[in-house]
Amino acid sequence: MRRRLYFVLPDIPSARAMLDEMLLARIEERHMKFMAKEGTLPDDMPDCSFLQRTDLVHGAQLGMVIGGIVGLAAAVFLTVFPPDGITLRTAAILLVALGGAIFGGWASGMNAAAVPNKKLEQFAPAIERGQVLMIVDVPPRRVLEVEEMIAKRHPEISFGGIEPPMLAFP
């Protein structure tokens, strides 16, 4: 389990310096992501992926749940009130519910791909001003250490918050 920390950095050079300091603090590059104005982040710095920038994952999950419930309700309705000449078995209920979940996940995911990530929405004005968002995933025992290290070395960096426990970057 890891905790996700958000820090708003003033510019690209300070983001590069923070990347180096985090690497020296033995935080792997795969646990750090940076988000800046489109096209300004250098290629050698870890950038946020499409899945992290959008609400695709959340939208697909929500769509699967809603689609599964609607599919299950439709299957039960068709079983209780079958069309003339057709008999539906229990397997049909499961298949229709599964089909509803798959369709719901796909349809909702397609819509959510166009929506910015709600968790990162609060940092959008800072990013538009040219600042850089640094996202770091650290073990819970190192959260305080990382926060203190950054506050001591870089008082100009603002702490953006901490997210509840998570597994890792997808």
More confident residue, 118 or 74: 74
37-87: pLDDT as tens digits: 887 788 888 888 787 878 888 888 899 999 999 999 988 888 888 777 777
Cα angle 4-10-14, degrees, rounded to a multiple of 5: 80
Share of the chain above pLDDT 90, in %: 9
- For residue 150 the two structure tokens come to 């950054």
The structural domains of the chain, ordered by start, are 3-49+118-162 (3.30.70), 56-112 (no CATH)
In whole angstroms, what is the distance from residue 133 CA to residue 150 CA? Answer: 14
Instruction: Output the pLDDT for position 56.
Output: 85
Q: Which residues are within 8 A (CB) of 79 and not within 5 positions of it... i.e. 6 or more apart?
A: 88, 92, 93
